[in-house]
Amino acid sequence: MIGSIVHLARNLRAGFVLAREGALGLFDPSALPPSARLALRMARLIERRQTEDGAARLSKALTRLGPSYVKFGQFLATRPDIVGVAAARDLERLQDRLPPFPRAQAIATIEAALGRPIDDAFLEFSEPLAAASIAQVHKARIRTPEGEETVAVKVVRPGVREGFARDLQAMRAAARLFERMVPDVRRLKPMEVVETLARSVAVEMDLRLEAAAVSELAENTKGDLDFRVPKPEWDLTARDVLTTTWIDGIRLNDLEAIERAGFDRVALGSTVIQSFLRHAIRDGYFHADMHPGNLFVDAEGRLVAVDFGIMGRLGMKERRFLAEILLGFIRRDYLRVAQVHFEAGYVPPHHSVEDFAQAIRAIGEPIHDRRADEISMAKLLTLLFEITALFDMATRTELVMLQKTMVVVEGVARNLDPKLDMWTTSEPVVREWIERNLGPLGRVEQAGRGLWTLAGVIGDLPELALRAERVLNQMEEVTARGVSLDQESVAAIGRAEARGNRWGVAALWIIAASLMIMLLRGFA
């Protein structure tokens, strides 16, 4: 009870800030029930008079609400299927920057995490260089068998876990209320969105997992001569501390410095695109936050990525899907693009493959009347997902993250080379993967894996038969006896449902009354 009141108070504050900044203008009142429409109209009475559109106001409101909501906004930027394309683009500009916490606190965190004094771990340890909502970065020196080395030390912000836990609980309460009171919102799965954010934040706050991400990406790309990542120092890494090699390089958005250093911007643009596609299609594991602040070019002209808190993963089915649809658009084979959607199970079988191919043609044909440098692969994927929604394609979180990352990657590459031909650049990577995995050699390897799996199933047949017999016996017993509920159980279910509905209606009226009180005070 007390917890519910606390969550309600926090959500009331969040609602007031969103209303005051005008962010509620993004909601469509027609999709809400009458009681919620009334609350929305009352809330919008306290909007500030501003010139920004609703999406810009949403960013401003989330910034006012604090680090947890900034992180939530950045997460929603990867889900245009939920907030819309305009809002997602604005949320990309949210700056996850906070004042740094004192060096002494960072040292205390490091000593507690590593179990030894700071002087035993580092020869030098600087003041903070950059700070965000979850962690901040310091520059340090360590001694290695090869000699002294400069490293970057990422330290988790004190108290960040407790703050995020409180705000996430309030977000869960708000999501449950929306699902209960606004049935149309359920298709957007607000509870699932909050839980996905919670998992993402939990991963970001355990820096051992980020070190593992760096290590996995380094292993995948060890043969790539034009791409590298920093090396984690495992002896100086713990849950709250991550130490990696220091990166000296030029940020990819510093075009003047890149030209002064004599690097080829056209070649760099191609490297950005091909590296991303290799990671996504070849390895099934990609950096999902490849904005210019996380990408450098080193002294040898190699692309270097940093900050691995957000990573994307694709299974073999998703990799094949991406490769085949890109190649299908390159070859204008729209029927094959449609068939890939059906083969992957993304579009329900009751739809017509030919009708779906016709819809895809409406996306593909216009791009072939333009110059190559005018064609946006990311925009094409965005339009593709919009079309697939008409054919009941369920939202695939991993594909949405992939598409959103491609938007950012394409922007970085086009900034380096405005005339970049996306299709010519990407075709070698896509074609090589398809030939390697879907050609004769790939078929042989798939057959070998299938035989190995079949052998395992045959070995498990006796145990599977025993399990099946037990399940059949239980089903026969249930069929014979039936499943019954006594009157007390039925009554208890009814009371619980009624109590939940009363709380939901009461919460809406409390929100409306609170906003009215705030409004009257504002005009007093």
Helices 422-438, 397-416: crossing angle, 10 deg rounding: 140
Distance (Å, rounded) from C-alpha 378 to C-alpha 57?
A: 26
Residues 6+ apart with CB under 8 A from 109: 155, 156, 158, 240, 241
Nearest to 146 by CA among 219, 243, 242, 245: 245
Q: Tokens in use for 405?
A: 């990352």
DSSP string for 462-475 = HHHHHHHHHHHHHH
Whether the CB-CB separation of 7 and 169 falls below 8 Å is answered with yes
Closest CA to 175 of 269, 82, 108, 264: 82
Q: From CA 211, how far away is CA 229, in angstroms rounded?
A: 11
Residue 16 has phi, psi (to 5 degrees) of: -65, -45
Q: How many CB atoms lie within 10 A of CB 390?
A: 11
Q: Are the C-beta atoms of residues 60 and 21 closer than 8 Å to each other?
A: yes
Token pair 């809330």 is found at: 43
Dist. CA 143–CA 163, nearest whole Å: 36
Q: Which two tokens stand for residue 417?
A: 């080379």
Distance, in Å, from the CA atom of 67 to the CA atom of 480, rounded to the nearest integer, reads: 57
Catalytic residue annotation: 289
C-alpha 168/C-alpha 445 separation (Å) is 45
Q: Please tell me the distance from the alpha carbon of residue 65 to that of residue 19, in angstroms, as a whole number.
A: 12
Q: Which of 211, 312, 266 is nearest to 274 (CA)?
A: 266
